[in-house]
Each structure stands twice: as structure tokens, then as C-alpha cells.
């Protein structure tokens, strides 16, 4: 057995202590960034049990990826790269969700799903894998990849392998598009606030940062998305996940998440504050 040693490194920004820039918080953009970070930290403290669920997902999948993708065979290397992008996008989406940037989270939720479906199809279809890997070689290759990777075509392939999983993926995928991953009216309306002034006059504002129930709803969707990613991962490298007992850990986490979902629904239905 060949062992490859790796090491962790710190970003340059973390190696030097710097004072807060003098003009931080004076422009509208830096005020927004500061508010988003403040809300992210507050959410981390206030919705602790939901953050625990996100951290468990991160521990079992992104953090374990160097183990279950170690020395992966050639046919599954592109799939591993695509799953890693899904994991990276999940982390970015967690940041937006905890900050309350609900409209933007939907864009990343869709990206998580797409990356994982692409990963699965590249692992199970040599024709798709070759088309994906050749995409940047020229116009003809790009056109061929587009033909191979139509969303409807990918879902048909997945439906043949696991109909229930294909149905669940399509459901969350369409929901993300409706709520903001595409600029459709449903998503736009979610980020607008319209107040009646008088007569025919109304005041309209854009909501950049949400709170409360909206943050929990975004976290629920992220947990759902990563559940689907895990199932696609099982179809791809289930043998490795079972050997490492990752399947048992993830399934236990899923059971705890279901308990959270049920409690969340009860609180919503009863009108109790979050």
C-alpha cells in the first residue's frame, strides 16, 4: 500500500494580525458585509442545533473526502473532482444561509445538486465522462458536451438507476429554480417588501438579508441537498463508504435531522417564535 502524506496550510490572511481598516463600515458595501458577518455569527449561536446538523454533514463528507477519495481509480477521478466542488459549494452556501442571504443560497443549492449529478454520471458512463473532460478542447467538443449533459437526459439516466432518488433531486432542483436560482417571479417576490403608503402609492424595498424562519428554511434545504449528494455518492463509491463506516454515521445524522424537521414543522404550525 502506498501512503501519500499531506499537510494543512493557513491562508496568508490568517498568519498576520491586521487592524480593522479605517474606512471599514463607511461605505454601503462594507456596512452590508459587516452586517452579514455579524448575523452569521449570531445565527451560529442562536440556532445551535441546526448548525450542529450542518457541522455533522461537513465532518462526514467534506472532511472525510481525502480518505474515501484516496487513490481513486481513473474512471472515478472526474467524479471525485465534481463531488469536491459540491462539498465546497455546500460550505459557501452555509455561509450565505447563516448570514440570511436567502435568494443567493438557492443559486448555490442548485449548483450543489448539479455538481453531484454530474459526478455520478461521469462515474457511471464513460461516454459522458469523455465528453465532460473534452469540453474545453474546442467548439465541437463543447457542443457535444452540451448535448450529453442536458438536465432532462441526466435525470432519465438516474431514474433508470434509482427512480425515488431522481424524483427527490428533481423536486429540490425545481424548488431552487422557483425560489431564486433563476430570476423567476416567485424568488424575486421573496426578496421584496411592499408597503402601502396611501391611495395608489406603495413603497417597495429589496431585502438583502433575512432572519428567523427564512434562515432555518435555507438550512433545511441545504441538509436536504446534502442528503441527495450522499445518496449519489453511495451509488458511486458505496463500497468505500461502507468499509469506512461513513454510511452508518451519515444515516444516524439523517435520523437526527428528521427529528429537527419535525420539531421545526410543529413550531411553524403552532406559531411559536423560533
pLDDT in tens, 22-72: 899 999 999 999 999 999 999 999 999 999 999 999 999 999 999 999 888
- pLDDT in the model for residue 273: 58
C-alpha 257/C-alpha 237 separation (Å) is 23
Q: What is the mean pLDDT of residues 69-84?
A: 90
Q: What residue ranges in 146-238 does DSSP mark as E strands?
A: 192-198, 201-206
Q: In this structure, are residues 80 and 72 in contact, taking their beta carbons and an 8 Å threshold?
A: yes
Q: Is pLDDT of 11 > 60?
A: no
DSSP designation for 21:
P
pLDDT greater at residue 187 or residue 52: 52
Q: In this structure, are residues 145 and 204 in contact, taking their beta carbons and an 8 Å threshold?
A: no
The 10s digit of each residue's pLDDT in 93-152 is 999 999 999 989 999 999 999 999 999 999 999 999 999 999 999 999 999 999 999 999
- pLDDT in the model for residue 227: 96
Residue 46 class from Cβ within 10 Å (0-12 exposed, 13-18 middle, 19+ buried)?
Answer: middle
Select from 214, 163, 212, 166 the least CA-distant residue to 187. 214
Percent pLDDT > 90 in the chain is 67
- pLDDT in the model for residue 6: 43
Confidence band of 12 (pLDDT split at 50, 70, 90): low
- pLDDT in the model for residue 190: 76
Mean per-residue pLDDT over the chain, rounded: 89
Q: What is the mean pLDDT of residues 156-164?
A: 97
Q: Which of 90-99, 182-191, 211-220 has the highest mean pLDDT?
A: 90-99
C-alpha R_g of the chain: 21
C-alpha 155/C-alpha 170 separation (Å) is 8
Take residue 219 and report the three cell numbers written for it.
438550512
Can you give the residue ranges of every domain in the chain? 58-189+208-269
Select from 107, 129, 141, 94 the least CA-distant residue to 236. 129
C-alpha 179/C-alpha 107 separation (Å) is 9
CA angle, 210 as apex, 186 and 59 as ends, to 5°?
100
Q: In this structure, are residues 159 and 117 in contact, taking their beta carbons and an 8 Å threshold?
A: no
C-alpha 255/C-alpha 77 separation (Å) is 31
Percent pLDDT > 70 in the chain is 92
C-alpha 235/C-alpha 164 separation (Å) is 13
- pLDDT in the model for residue 16: 66
Select from 18, 244, 232, 217 the least CA-distant residue to 114. 232
Who contacts 109 (Cβ-Cβ below 8 Å, separation ≥6)? Answer: 93, 172, 176, 181, 221, 222, 225
Question: pTM for this one?
Answer: 0.87
Compute the 3-state secondary structure of the chain and give helix, strand, coil in percent, each to the nearest 5.
Answer: 75, 5, 20
The 10s digit of each residue's pLDDT in 192-204 is 777 777 878 878 7
Q: In the beta sheet, which residues pair with residue 105?
A: none
Amino acid at each position: 500500500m502506498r501512503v501519500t502524506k499531506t499537510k494543512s496550510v493557513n491562508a496568508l490572511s490568517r498568519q498576520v494580525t491586521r487592524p480593522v481598516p479605517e474606512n471599514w463600515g463607511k461605505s454601503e458595501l462594507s456596512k452590508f458585509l459587516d452586517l452579514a458577518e455579524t448575523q452569521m455569527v449570531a445565527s451560529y449561536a442562536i440556532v445551535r442545533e441546526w448548525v450542529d446538523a450542518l457541522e455533522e454533514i461537513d465532518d462526514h463528507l467534506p472532511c472525510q473526502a481525502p480518505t474515501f477519495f484516496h487513490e481513486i481509480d481513473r474512471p472515478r477521478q472526474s467524479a471525485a473532482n465534481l463531488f469536491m466542488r459540491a462539498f465546497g459549494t455546500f460550505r459557501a452556501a452555509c455561509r450565505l444561509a447563516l448570514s440570511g442571504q436567502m435568494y443567493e443560497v438557492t443559486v448555490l443549492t442548485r449548483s450543489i445538486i448539479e455538481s453531484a449529478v454530474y459526478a455520478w454520471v461521469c462515474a457511471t458512463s464513460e461516454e459522458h465522462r469523455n465528453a465532460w473532460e473534452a469540453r474545453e478542447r474546442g467548439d465541437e467538443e463543447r457542443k457535444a458536451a452540451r448535448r450529453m449533459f442536458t438536465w432532462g437526459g441526466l435525470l432519465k439516466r438516474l431514474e433508470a438507476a434509482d427512480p425515488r432518488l431522481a424524483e427527490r433531486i428533481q423536486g429540490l432542483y425545481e424548488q431552487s429554480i422557483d425560489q431564486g436560482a433563476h430570476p423567476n417571479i416567485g424568488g424575486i417576490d421573496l426578496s421584496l417588501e411592499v408597503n402601502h403608503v396611501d391611495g395608489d402609492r406603495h413603497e417597495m424595498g429589496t431585502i438583502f438579508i433575512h432572519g428567523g424562519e427564512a434562515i432555518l428554511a435555507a438550512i433545511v434545504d441545504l441538509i436536504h441537498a446534502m442528503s441527495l449528494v450522499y445518496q449519489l455518492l453511495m451509488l458511486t463509491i458505496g463500497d468505500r463508504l461502507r468499509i469506512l463506516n461513513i454510511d452508518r454515521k451519515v444515516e444516524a445524522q439523517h435520523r437526527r435531522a428528521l427529528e429537527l424537521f419535525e420539531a421545526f414543522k410543529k413550531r411553524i404550525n403552532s406559531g411559536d417564535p423560533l
